[in-house]
Amino acid sequence: MLYQVEMTVLLPNDMPPEVASEIKAKEKAYSQDLQRQGIWRHLWRIVGEYRNLSILDCRDNEHLHEVLSGLPLFPWMEIKVTPLCRHPSSIREDDR
């Protein structure tokens, strides 16, 4: 099942830069692994903000929750999820 996921990162101002850098490096590795697995299909940055818009392909809601809660930046995120389904007027058979 496809999900549109909008993630806004809100790191605390008093977080030491070295701690933030370590968390961001873990986040990058985790998200790239999910991309290689085909779970994280698309990833776009929202220009001028510490926010992204992504398309994730998960088995179900529980799987999506596991994926999102596994993000190293999860404790500092606001997340909005929108389930998606194919539009009947689409001329594409997939989203690639």
CA-nearest of 46, 15, 35 to 27 is 35
Q: How many residues appear in the chain?
A: 96
Does the domain at 2-84 match CATH 3.40.50.2300? Answer given as no
Residue the block writes with tokens 């500092």: 76
Per-residue pLDDT, 91 = 87
Q: How far apart are CA 29 and CA 15, in angstroms?
A: 21
**pLDDT level of residue 92 (50, 70, 90 thresholds):** confident
Answer yes or no: is pLDDT of 51 > 90: yes
Residue 95 has pLDDT above 80, yes or no: no
Each domain of the chain, given as residue ranges in start order, spans 2-84
What local confidence, expressed as pLDDT, does residue 86 receive?
85
Give pLDDT tens digits for 54-76. 999 999 999 999 999 999 999 99
Q: Is the pTM of this model over 0.85?
A: yes
